[in-house]
Amino acid sequence: MSKLVVTSVSPGTSVQDAGRFGAQRYGLVPSGAVDRLALAAANALVGNELFAATIELGPLNSVLTARGGAVRVALTGATRPADVAGQPMAVNTSVTIADGESLNIGVVRSGTFGYLAIEGGVRGEPMFGSLAVNARAGLGSPYPRPLQSGDELQVAAASSANEKRIDLPAVVEGPIRVVMGPQDDEFDDAKELFLSSEWKISAMSDRMGYRLEGPVIKHLHGHNIVSDGTVNGSIQVPGNGQPIVLMPDRGTTGGYPKIATVISSDLGRFGQTQPGRGFRFKAISMAEAQAEYRATAELLRSLPGRVHDANILMLDIKALQSANVAGVAINAMDATTWQVHAAAQD
Amino acid sequence: MVAALSPPRILPSGDAAITVEFSRTIDAEANRRVLALDRLVASDALTGVTETVPTYRSLLVHYDSLQIGFEALGDKLTELALRPLPEATATRRWRIPVVYGGENGIDLEDVAKTLNITPDEVVARHVGGDYRVAMIGFTPGWSYLSGLPDSMQMSRRQNPRLLTPPGTISIGGIQTGVQCLAGPSGWHLLGRTAVRTYQLHRDPIFLLEPGDAVTFSAVDEKTFAEQDRAAEGGEFVAELMS
């Protein structure tokens, strides 16, 4: 048995999986990863179940150290520098941390949350089928709170050093898509203002909710409604007219009108938007939203097939360079050649 | 004579949930229909439905759109909601012990002043109420009860408190509540109970169900302290009366 020791950690780092379902009627919110696609991609890279528990990394530096044996991990999500004992590691690849060595994870360049999957998964006691941390409910495993320096995760020893990379489609730019409602009739012209304006995510945001800054969205009949159920992506408008997008650690019910809801397929992309960066919303029909969801489900299913060996080509390059053999060429027109090469240099 | 039921509003809550809205206000009849639809959805095991969240006036239905689409599920829910309400079935009734006033109920004196009655009369009226769990929400085990006597209804505090203790029993508007975890609250704090409506590593983890009946009883501080120790050890403390 190996250990992954938290040497230092970014704020906002916790163990997360797909979440804890079935008890929202008792006030227990699912929690779970902000970016489910990145969660699943990280797990695919180390051969885990797609929605196994990973470490959801906050945007600043973290250092994790292997003890008692080698540990194989994969990093996805926010773009950022990373290295193991000085050897650079690219996002969307796996790497093996030798006993006593550290994985150094840098500050994000784009995106907010990273996902570090560990081969064999995180050991802990699931509650309602999940290890996801929900600090308010005192739930999650092995620690029911964000990770702290000195925490130790019991993990499986690395099975091999056969490193992988995963090819993910480029993240679509463009507006965050929403379905209007359930209380869009509590707003009049403000709906148009909501959809036509540029918004920024406030620094006062966390896994409960992302607060938005922009024009004031005025209610037709005041800002109190009788408490009503919420979902991940509900956009509620409190009294000050600045919307709050509810995130995985939201309350299960809320008493502000909800003008619209972020579609499931855009929740991860929205959650990765950095504070201060401008973006817009776009309303789409329910049929379009559900078609997007089917496409996302298909993409998730395809992830294991998008995992490839990472270091065969790298070894070949080194072998070719050292042997200086002419006539054995790399196909320069194949974009993946350069992706892998660039990854090795990153 | 049975009045025909009006159809609920079917509202989209994103692409993976539907809000079935019976009323926009707190309404006992609407809540009865919410809980009846909740039971029907559970007993019919509707294809694609993953879980439901009953509130005072609406039922939130989470679903998997790979299995059923918005229109088809909305139609099915409307049909179920228009079925005649079943006869009131036997309900579980809990008695929840409360230590009122003092440091455990720091707003009791103010509530008494506002209502122009004695603190003892506030306690008597609160204990005299016959309550129903209308919904559980926001944080684990936070139970919103309907049935607060009219003479006890008052608006929420101007300034919500950022932290109120676990087990707080409070009143706000026309509701009373049993709060399980420490957290913010804008309600008036009357007392505390040792009952944990949510406790990990206990079976069941959640004590109350939407629709359960609740009565409060007053206990002294010594009893509260004993019950609190027992509850910490996993005992229910709440008494199941029927």
A286 → closest Cβ in B38, B70, B137: B70
Q: How far apart are CA A113 and CA A62, in angstroms?
A: 12
Q: How far apart are CA B208 and CA B224, in angstroms?
A: 20
A263 → closest Cβ in B14, B57, B183: B14
A231 touches chain B (CB under 8 A): yes
pLDDT grade, residue B2 (50/70/90)? low
The 3-state DSSP class for residue A8 equals strand
B15 → closest Cβ in A234, A252, A264: A264
Q: How far apart are CA A195 and CA A175, in angstroms?
A: 10
Q: Flag if B51 and A25 touch (Cβ within 8 Å).
A: yes
- Which pair of tokens denotes residue A187? 């707003």
Global ipTM: 0.93
Q: How far is A260 from chain B (nearest CA, A)?
A: 7
Q: Flag if B139 and A136 touch (Cβ within 8 Å).
A: yes
The 3-state DSSP class for residue A305 equals helix
Q: What strand order describes the sheet that includes A93-97?
A: A14-16, A54-57, A110-118, A71-79, A93-97, A164-166, A307-309
Cβ partners under 8 Å of residue A138, min gap 6:
A144, B181, B200
Q: Flag if A27 and B139 touch (Cβ within 8 Å).
A: yes
Q: Flag if A290 and B65 touch (Cβ within 8 Å).
A: yes
Angle, helix B70-81 to helix B28-44, in steps of 10 degrees: 120
Instruction: Give the pTM.
Output: 0.91
The 3-state DSSP class for residue B15 equals strand
Residues in chain B within 8 Å Cβ distance of A234: 13-14
- The whole-number pLDDT of residue A173 equals 87
- The whole-number pLDDT of residue A161 equals 76
Chain B positions touching chain A (beta carbons under 8 Å): 11-17, 19, 21, 24-26, 38, 50-60, 62, 65-66, 69-70, 135-142, 144, 181, 183, 198, 200, 205-206, 210
Q: pLDDT digit of tens for each residue in chain A (346 aa)? A: 899 999 999 999 999 999 999 999 999 999 999 999 999 999 999 999 999 999 999 999 999 999 999 999 999 999 999 999 999 999 999 999 999 999 999 999 999 999 999 999 999 999 999 999 999 899 999 999 999 999 999 999 999 878 999 999 988 889 999 999 999 999 999 999 999 999 999 999 999 999 999 999 999 988 888 889 999 999 999 999 999 999 999 999 988 999 999 999 999 999 999 999 999 999 999 999 999 999 999 999 999 999 999 865 444 455 445 544 444 444 444 444 333 333 333 3
Q: Flag if B138 and A137 touch (Cβ within 8 Å).
A: no
Q: How far apart are CA B145 and CA B107, in angstroms?
A: 19
* Most A CBs within 10 Å, among B9, B10, B11, B13, to test the A interface: B13
Are A77 and A114 within 8 A, CB to CB?
A: yes
In this structure, what DSSP letter does residue A261 have? Answer: E
Residue in chain B lying closest to A228 (CA): B55
Are A235 and A72 within 8 A, CB to CB?
A: no
Pairing of strands A2-8, A307-309: unpaired
